[in-house]
Structure 1
């Protein structure tokens, strides 16, 4: 499956840059990856840039109102999407104001990383690690010890 990871900006803190790079490298063993960094001066412009970058690809937005997954559930969701013929999914993390209601309505799924509010850099790192963990579960590899 092809995963398109969209973020507003890129990790700024050293730990997040290192972590992102490491998990991006690992995730590439399981999926074809495209990473797009978008920008915008307002929430509306950020959401517009995300929509444009995603194109017609089913869009999964990280949003606190979204569905929470256990690692096994995320793995099962991704497997189900692949079986349903979705050969590509786009995952997007918005800026400080989040996504517009219009973009939320257009999305395929809202995904919440949990009830905690995370700094942008950490949310990016948690997202890519969760996708990597889900990939290893699907592959039956021992990374996940649940």
Structure 2
């Protein structure tokens, strides 16, 4: 399955850049990965750029109001999408103000990483690591031992 990771901007802090690069590289062992960085001067322009970047792919928005997964649950979700014939999923992290109500309303899924507010850079690393962890669970590999 293709995983399209859409972010507003890119990691700015060194730790986040290193983490993103590492988990994106690892994730490519299991999926075709596309990364799109979008920009916009307003929340509305950012959300429109995310929508355009996702194209026809089901859009999973990272949003604190969204469904929370365990690592095993995320693995099962990805597997179910693959079995259902979904060839691509687009995952999007919004800017400082998040996504517009309109974009959220049209999303395939809202995914909450937890109730904490995370800095943008850290959320990007958590997204990439969570997808990698879920992929290793699906593959029956020992990375996840919890």
* TM-score (norm: length of structure 1): 1.00
Hey, what does 1:45 align to over in structure 2?
45
| Offset, 1:145 | 0.7
1:62 is aligned to 2:62: yes
Corresponding residue SS for 1:60: strand
Unaligned runs of 5+ in 1: none
Hey, what does 1:7 align to over in structure 2?
7
Looking at structure 1, the residues matched to 33 and 128 of structure 2 have their Cα atoms a distance apart, in angstroms, of 11
* TM-score (norm: length of structure 2): 1.00
Looking at structure 2, the residues matched to 87 and 142 of structure 1 have their Cα atoms a distance apart, in angstroms, of 26
Looking at structure 2, the residues matched to 109 and 138 of structure 1 have their Cα atoms a distance apart, in angstroms, of 20
Q: What is the 5 A alignment of 1:61-80?
A: 61-80=61-80
| Offset, 1:111 | 0.1
Consecutive aligned runs of 4 or more in structure 1 exceeding 6 Å deviation: none
1:112 is aligned to 2:112: yes
Aligned Cα RMSD in Å?
0.3
Corresponding residue SS for 1:41: coil
Unaligned runs of 5+ in 2: none
Looking at structure 2, the residues matched to 16 and 103 of structure 1 have their Cα atoms a distance apart, in angstroms, of 26
1:133 is aligned to 2:144: no
